[in-house]
Amino acid sequence: MFMITLASMIFMLIILILTSILNIITKKTFLDREKTSPFECGFDPKNLARLPFSLHFFLIAIIFIIFDVELTLFLPMIIIMKSTNTMALSVVISLYILILLFGLFHEQSQGSLNWTI
């Protein structure tokens, strides 16, 4: 157990050092207006290059993807039902569904599932 903890601490230290070095080495400049503007054959753009995007729609899409992936993880549990201990599997499935329901209730309480225009 000590070796696993030590190895994970070393990995985290290496990642932290590499991230720090990367942030120090890279230099982002926003001083040049021409480099940050969209290029349209040398002319100034007629309209904005970025279209407005609904952040609420994006959050609903992310929530859908998360719950969809969790449901695909749930399907193999049904398939292995015959080959494992029924009591242990029912505990695991119940815990899994409880976590899903907790996440759903949390999203509902935060108001993320309310569709407003």
Residue positions counted in the chain? 117
Distance between CA atoms of residues 91 and 95, nearest Å:
6
| CA separation for the pair 10, 38 (Å, rounded) | 43
Note the pLDDT of residue 17: 95
* Residue 48 phi, psi dihedral angles, 5° rounding: -65, 145
pLDDT digit of tens for each residue in the chain (117 aa)? 888 999 999 999 999 999 999 888 876 655 566 666 666 566 666 666 666 777 778 888 888 888 888 878 888 887 888 888 888 888 988 998 898 889 888 888 888 777 765
pLDDT computed for residue 117 by the predictor: 59
Residue 70 CA to residue 100 CA, distance in Å, equals: 8
- Identify the CATH number of the domain defined by range 17-110: 1.20.58.1610
**Which amino acid is located at 105 in the chain?**
F
Contact 60, 113 (CB under 8 A): yes
State the pLDDT at residue 78.
79
